[in-house]
Structure 1
Amino acid sequence: MPTFHVSEMAAGTESMTGENVDELGTQEVPVSQKLTFEVLQIVKEAQQQHGLRHGDFQRYRGYCSRRIRRLRKSLHFPQGNNRKVTPKKIDMETITDVRFLHLPLFCAERAWYYAMQLKSEANTEQRKKFHMLAKIKKAVTYAEELAELCKSPKCDAQTQLESQAYLSWIQAGMYFEQEVWDKAMKLYTQAKTIYEKLASAFTEDSQALYLQMVDEVSPNIRYCAYNIGDESAIAELKEMRRKGGEDQLTSHLDDLLSQTREKQTATLSEVTWLGRSVPVKSEPVRVFLINVQESTKEIESTDGIDSKISIYESLLKQCIDSQQILRDSLHDDANFKASQRGQAIEGKISNQHYLHSYLMYIRLTKTVDRNLLLIEKLKQYLPGKPIPDGHKITKPQDLVRLYDIIIQNLNEIPNLQGVETDLSEETAVKSTSYKAFRSYYIAQSFLAAKKWTETIALYERVLGYASQALKGCKKLKNLSKQEICSIEELVNRVNGEKYSCHANSILDLETVAEPVADISLIKKKPLIDRFDDYIEDKSVTTKKPNLVSFPPDFEPIPCRPLFFDLALNHVEFPSIEGKMEQKKSGGITGMVKGWLWGGGKK
């Protein structure tokens, strides 16, 4: 698919964005001064900043429309008014500002990426393919207009070469979509030659952008050569794919390889899985199944782990798309709907439903293989190994998470619908072996925290899982020797580490227990009570230092004695009645006098 991929700009390259350029006032260029219009740099910056970095064609088209409108307004070059459109054509006399050249460029960009959006939607609506071709022709027209304007004496040689390369690229894309391979190859080669010449004429900082464009055009040339009849071209495309590189270039190579494999789908009419043959009617599903066969060979011939992971990622994306196509075709299948709801199915499932189960099996197994490669990559950065600059140290928890995903995927395989052959025994053995590895790395995390008891218990669990897996491996014949050897190596490693861990736990108890106990008791005392004991207590410098006890502790003190005089109760004193004066009683006259006149004693 000939798309104008977004690449990173060369380091140190500085240019004005479209927002700033459009707001500048009109500046007439002197006759003696040449216009310099860097087509590739302007286009790449716009694509990178406005959606194409993520494949958002709609956003980029909207940006192009707004950019054109701002340019026309700032250049006072409108196409009529709100009531009537009056087209104005740019000619060589009109070009008094370099921004006039932006107009045909962004018109071509808008039309081209409208066509690319229609191409991505043409898989479901075939009518859009004709609309796509019309937009491509419109983009070619604008590119021809740009190249013609750049031939003006007002433009320098770099501008003329870049506009010609852009035109060749657009025209080659049109012939590519029309499958006119010889013309497409000729024009792609012409664009590549121009970009190579431009790269050789600049410094290293400036030439990086042109060399990236050369790398993007090269796969299209090889694909055209393959369609013309060069059988070696497909091998070169595969070699480019194995080398990897930028994500967008890799995606472009995947598209070209998929288009190549579409020609091989005529030989794939049915697929056999677990003794049952089913027809493959959908063209994208056929392409995916051929990709599965080819990817096995590609992975075997690829050296780097990252390149292998990239191949698996690409394959899983295609698998998801193929499953969606089958899911749409099974919209009216009652058994398929019931299985999606988790209900039991009676009777034999349809061929399409069985094919969907097969694709699900491929997806689960390839995900397991991808995660095993990720584990292999992360093991290179475990503690105790030399870590290259720019890489993080792998934690045991990272490996545990990947093993969890692997076990979950293996447990889903026996539940696939329509599988008459029992796959539970094979998946159970593999799942048990991966549980052993997962338990081992859980133990490593406890070992790092010096939790000896938990570590030893997990080591025992590892040995239990490993013994179960080795017993199951003897019953199965399709397991590789490498898998069995990895389990045996794990058993040997755990046996050694288990005794080492046990010894460390004993040493810790003997050498550390008493000093730690003393220090812990001392640290619990406030500072005011332990001036005579010197220890490095970092808690004193914190926000809550233990300086004094507050509130203060109670202390015993001597109490004041209480005296109880009980002896007085038992003392008998002599009688003093004889010494006491007796009261004299008054006569009758006094009593009457006091009663009548209120007299009496005072």
Structure 2
Amino acid sequence: MSDQPQDLSFKVLSLLSKERGVYGLRNGDHERYRKHCGNKLQRLRHGTGLTSGKKGYKKPAEVTLATVKDVKHLQLLLFSAERALAHSHELKSALTRPNPPVGVSKKDQLSWLRRAHKYSSSLHSISSALASSSRMTQQTLAEITIYHLSLSSELSFERSNWADAITSLAVRRRLLSTFAEAARDSYDQALALEFMDAYDPLIRFAAYKLGRAESHDIPAVVADIDGEMQEEALPGVEKLVEGLRAELGSQEVEEGRRKLEDVKFAGEAIEMRSAEMVGVMTKVQAAMEAMEGKGRGMRGWDKVLGVLGEAEAVARRLVDDHEASGASNPLRSAETSRSLAQTHQYIIHLLLTHRIRRDLLLAETLRSTSKTLPSDITRFKVPGGRAKLEEAVKTLAGLIKLYDQVLQSLGQVKGLGLVQEREEVRVGVEGLESYYQATSRNLLLARLHTIHPTPSYSSAIRLLARSSSLTQQARSSLFETGPIAEPITSATETDLSALESDISALEKAAKRALFAERVDKPVFFDNAFNYVEMPMEELVYRAGKGPKPAAPSEGTGGVAAVAEVVGQVAGKKAQELEKEQIAGQGKKGWLGGWFGRG
């Protein structure tokens, strides 16, 4: 039995994406990722036996082509380069602070970057030899080559060697474009785009430094790098690209790649450039398809809303991490930022749309199962006694609460930037908001005012008057401005006409009930009580519940008392005036009044 060579292939880009995302590198925490790489190296050394000794330090054996027997040997080199790269980025981030720490210099940062490049060069040379002996696939070799070119271009970039940097970046982008075009599923395609976007700002900045007028157009800059220049940066690049295309089967890409359906909003494609986001959206689409296949039960709605909630949390975390990494990486990809923001808002729109539809379904179910509400909206008396009346009030209160949730979700949808930027979407959302506000907050609340045990017909009339203007706004937005893009739910002209007729009928009935209502006006005695002193003793005597009050000494006693008080006040004022006149006869003017006498 002949020994077959062991396959040492593994998913390099996927492994790096997961490790970096989980252990802090996504939000710029280079120290945490460096410590994680150190711990992972220790575990790999124990697994491969390449330790540094137990009692005293012993330099571990180097990984060479002859000693490579397992994938862990290759991962040992990979994470050695990752740890050195994280250390270099940590020092670079420290140098960009306003008060950099003492003892940290640009030389130290470049030293760690050169060490990372040394490990990647060793990994690339060993992988090339393994691929030539059929012990590694072309895909793994291409991914390791992409990683090696990333470090090589970054080292040239830090040394301000713009020509070498842009050439290495062009070769790297070509390999990633091949992966994206020939990817067998949406995850691999998004993974390639994610790594491509990470280094696109370096291409733009290097082209700017070289004086390229089209530095903003990355495909045009890369197209200027011809085959000879790419061959100088990476010998054998044409052979590697052809082998990668043959292995991936580029001609069959359309059959196996589209697991994730095209995501569009208002006719425009939403591009997913994050591998993690693609995986979440695949689950969302699967849940939505399952709900449509099994019917629209509450379990199906809850499952879809749960999956959408998880997707929104992942998208929000990706956006926050990308924004947080701006301090340590000012050259962020604009395409990645725009893609993450659009994807996040699209998922929020999906979540709110399905929540609105679920609430409307609950409201329709509650309305159809209720047997206490009169079918005639103009009837204010609920037959069946007090119990049926309380049940009808609770039903209307539940309907109002559900429609308030719908209005709250519509307000959140209207506030999304993805909706505000598109007029045909925003107008439709505003029309639905006016329609359901007229339905719930006004019509149902007005009906609750009319059937309540203590009705308030005036409040109902005010609500219904507001509903008439809301229905006009809804008709103008939904049916008179043109076609509506991304409709959340269907509201036809028939439904709007039926709503208008119900509002008119209920308003007329409420006005008739208000005019027919008898209101007992307060007698004059109740108003006069606040201004005239009541003779309580006389009233008690006349009622036979007390003795006869004592008669006043004089009939004009009250007038005499008032006259006496007025006389006292006038006497005091006369005395004060006399004192002022006496005091005024003293010294006047200058020098005792010599110049003040006439």
- TM-score normalised by structure 2 residue count: 0.41
- TM-score normalised by structure 1 residue count: 0.41
Structure number with greater CO (CA < 8 Å, separation at least 6) is 2
